[in-house]
Amino acid sequence: MEKRWVLKKEPDKEVVKQLSNQLNINEVLSSLLVHRGITTFEDARSFFRPQITDLHDPYLMKDMDKAVERINLAKDRGDQIMIYGDYDVDGTTAVSIVYSFLKNTHKKVDFYIPDRYAEGYGISYKGIDYAVETGHKLLISLDCGIKAVDKIKYASEKGLDVIICDHHRPGDTIPPAVAVLDPKQDDCNYPFKELSGAGVGYKLIQAVASNWGLSPEKVYPYLDLVAISIAADVVAMVGENRILAYYGLKHLNKSPRIGIKYLLKSAGVEKKISLGSEHYFKRLITVTDLVFLLGPRINAAGRIDSATDSVRLLISNNTEYAAKLGKQINDLNTTRRELDSNITKDALKILDDDIDIGNKKATIVYREDWHKGVVGIVASRLIDKYYRPTIVLTKADNLITGSARSVKNFDIYDAIDSTHHLLENFGGHTYAAGLALKPENLDQFIKEFNAYTEENITDDMLVPEIDIDVELYVSDINFKFYKILRQFAPFGPGNMSPTFKTSNVIDTGYAKLVGKKDNKHLKFSVVHPDRTGNPVPAIAFNKGHMLEEMQKGKPFSICYHIDENTWLGNTSLQLRILDIKFS
């Protein structure tokens, strides 16, 4: 698929030069900082050395005082508390945080994760009934609840108080809960609006700890789970999230909880032979590991079976029990991969047979026997091929349910909201959402959704873009440069790993195909024919089809990230190629 390369506007040269002198770094690096809004020495110090003391006061969040007051009442009266959360990574990490913290001082605390298939997303009537029947007086919802108006009314009628902790967009009516913690409420003055669900849960325990006179350090051990939620839920890696992720990763690397050790071990990440003072594993765990190694495994339990096991693993202090759960969850992740692969093949076959696919600005596929737990993953896979807003639907409990994923600059939540009169429920974010509707409404939903995309998507939006930070000569790449670049982490939306462009390079003549199964990746080294400097190794995943063209010796341009590659104990720099364009 052809991609459009978009080079960011060159920042003010005087600002770049001044910052370069202040920090004693080259102007390429200072340009990257200016692109991120960092223009002074103080800005740079805050960026490179985030301070946990810069986290916002949790009591700035609307209703935080009410939430803490109700928790204190529960503690004083001995009320049973139910910690209730969504079944994805954000929900299960949030539940693990709040449950573990409260359980330390209040023994009457339980947790509940709804069944994806029997109850669906969010607070359910079944969950409320279970809480009431088992004697709970307070329910704390995490990563869900902001649109559950009727269910919160139902809980209140049953004598069950609810504290909502959510980060999704509210609807027109705020549920009548005891307290509603959601920074996206219009009348919430909390300074940072992009917390994850677990991030909101963390702010709650911060506030409770402060009220109880505990030192701030008492809540730091939960930052590892906040970091996992930030990475897996793909929220903005700026402001408070970047501080939370920075310290969460430090904690995870130095002192990982038992469940995390087993999940990473199952992913092939080995611990050090002797535990050093800096980190537990042989290499530093990064956001990339959280997204691609930990996140899918934690998610797998809720996608295939019950996410309750994910929480049990994350809160476990028993090595033997954690090992057993870790194996079960890793086995479920293997099953998830197989389902994902098979359903993706089915969906691609349906789309390949659609002769009108090229004229549509959205992709909607439906088959009633697809596994509900992986349709969101499949939607992302389809975007990789067709680059259209995509909805993958299946059938469960007499409803058609599904997941939606989007492309850059198209708000899939707003698009689905335009059809809300046809839906039983929906929720989500700008680029990912879920929905459910009655079968008799499906045709009309497809018609109205397609009409919305026709009106709101331009042809340019259907061409994938690669945002390029700056142009660079490969001869300028060295470990000194990379050492500073690495300090830009943790990376994520709003602070993506810098993307570079280099023009008119040639392969050194040793390009080859690599890959364990099908040799579909391209490995080569590049140099500038008119500049001195050593060749720089490069890897281009899924671009093996370009080998023949590269072997012709013609110059080409590349855009890429800079990574480390360790092989047989030796570490070198490597370009991770995003795209190649031949002259």
Q: What is the pTM of this model?
A: 0.92
Judge whether 403 lies within some domain. yes
Answer with the one of 462, 494, 526 that is the final residue of a domain. 462
Query: 172 with 251, same domain?
Result: yes
What is the mean predicted confidence (pLDDT) over 455-467?
95
Query: 401 with 325, same domain?
Result: no
- For 361-381, the three-class secondary structure string (H helix, E strand, C coil) is CCEEEECCCCCHHHHHHHHHH
Residues in the chain: 583
β-pairing, 80-85 with 109-112? parallel
Query: 129 with 215, same domain?
Result: yes
At position 263, the amino acid (one-letter code) is: L
Three-state SS at 81: strand
Query: 429 with 479, same domain?
Result: no
pLDDT of residue 533: 81
Q: For residue range 60-102, list pLDDT tens digits in order.
A: 999 999 999 999 999 999 999 999 999 999 999 999 999 999 9
Judge whether 21 lies within some domain. no
Residue 274: pLDDT over 90 = no
- How far apart, in whole angstroms, are the C-alpha atoms of residue 256 and residue 250? 9
What is the mean predicted confidence (pLDDT) over 102-131?
92
Q: What sign has the CA pseudo-torsion 42, 44, 46, 48? A: negative
Q: For residue range 215-241, list pLDDT tens digits in order.
A: 999 999 999 999 999 999 999 999 999
Q: What is the DSSP letter of 271?
A: B
pLDDT band at 277 (very low <50, low <70, confident <90, very high): low
Query: Do 102 and 81 form a contact (C-beta atoms < 8 A)?
Result: yes
Judge whether 514 lies within some domain. yes
Domain CATH code at residue 565: 2.40.50.460
- For 513-537, the three-class secondary structure string (H helix, E strand, C coil) is EECCCCCCEEEEEEECCCCCCCCEE
Query: 485 with 450, same domain?
Result: no
Answer with the one of 294, 329, 364 that is the final residue of a domain. 329
Distances (CA, A) of 458 to 170, 257, 270, 361, 433: 28, 47, 47, 9, 21
Q: For residue range 236-257, list pLDDT tens digits in order.
A: 999 999 999 999 999 999 999 9
64-102 burial by CB neighbour count: b if 16+ within 10 A, else e? beebbebbeebbeeebbbbbbbbbbbbbbbbbbbbbbbb
Q: How many domains does the chain have?
A: 3
pLDDT of residue 517: 77
pLDDT of residue 568: 73
Three-state SS at 307: coil
479's torsion region: left (phi>0), alpha (psi -120 to 50) or beta? alpha
Query: 569 with 439, same domain?
Result: no
What is the mean predicted confidence (pLDDT) over 161-188?
96
What is the mean predicted confidence (pLDDT) over 360-364?
94
pLDDT band at 275 (very low <50, low <70, confident <90, very high): low
Q: For residue range 375-422, list pLDDT tens digits in order.
A: 999 999 999 999 999 999 999 888 999 999 999 999 999 999 999 999
Residue 272: pLDDT over 90 = no
In terms of residue numbers, what domain contains 145?
Answer: 58-329
Query: 311 with 206, same domain?
Result: yes
pLDDT of residue 364: 96
Judge whether 474 lies within some domain. yes
Q: For residue range 128-164, list pLDDT tens digits in order.
A: 999 999 999 999 999 999 999 999 999 999 999 999 9
- Among residues 535, 565, 557, the alpha carbon closest in space to that of 471 is found at 557
Answer with the one of 462, 479, 513 that is the final residue of a domain. 462
Residue 117: pLDDT over 90 = no
Residue 197: pLDDT over 80 = yes
Q: What average pLDDT does the structure give for the chain?
A: 94
Three-state SS at 80: strand
Q: What is the DSSP letter of 11?
A: P
- How far apart, in whole angstroms, are the C-alpha atoms of residue 298 and residue 326? 9
pLDDT of residue 31: 97
Judge whether 522 lies within some domain. yes
pLDDT band at 321 (very low <50, low <70, confident <90, very high): very high
Task: Report the Cα–Cα distance between both ends of the chain, in Å, rounded.
Answer: 17
Residue 2: pLDDT over 90 = no
Residue 355: pLDDT over 90 = no
Domain CATH code at residue 358: 3.10.310.30
- How far apart, in whole angstroms, are the C-alpha atoms of residue 504 and residue 557? 5
pLDDT band at 447 (very low <50, low <70, confident <90, very high): very high
Query: Do 80 and 110 form a contact (C-beta atoms < 8 A)?
Result: yes
Q: What angle do CA 102, 106, 110 make, to 5 degrees?
A: 70
Q: What angle do CA 136, 69, 154 make, to 5 degrees?
A: 40
Judge whether 168 lies within some domain. yes
Query: 514 with 575, same domain?
Result: yes
- How far apart, in whole angstroms, are the C-alpha atoms of residue 24 and residue 13? 16
Judge whether 293 lies within some domain. yes
Query: 443 with 484, same domain?
Result: no
- Dihedral of CA atoms 551, 552, 553, 558 in degrees, nearest 10, equals -70
Query: 95 with 115, same domain?
Result: yes
Judge whether 48 lies within some domain. no
Residue 276: pLDDT over 70 = no
Query: 382 with 404, same domain?
Result: yes
Query: 240 with 137, same domain?
Result: yes
Three-state SS at 208: helix
Domain CATH code at residue 95: 3.90.1640.30
Query: Do 492 and 196 form a contact (C-beta atoms < 8 A)?
Result: no
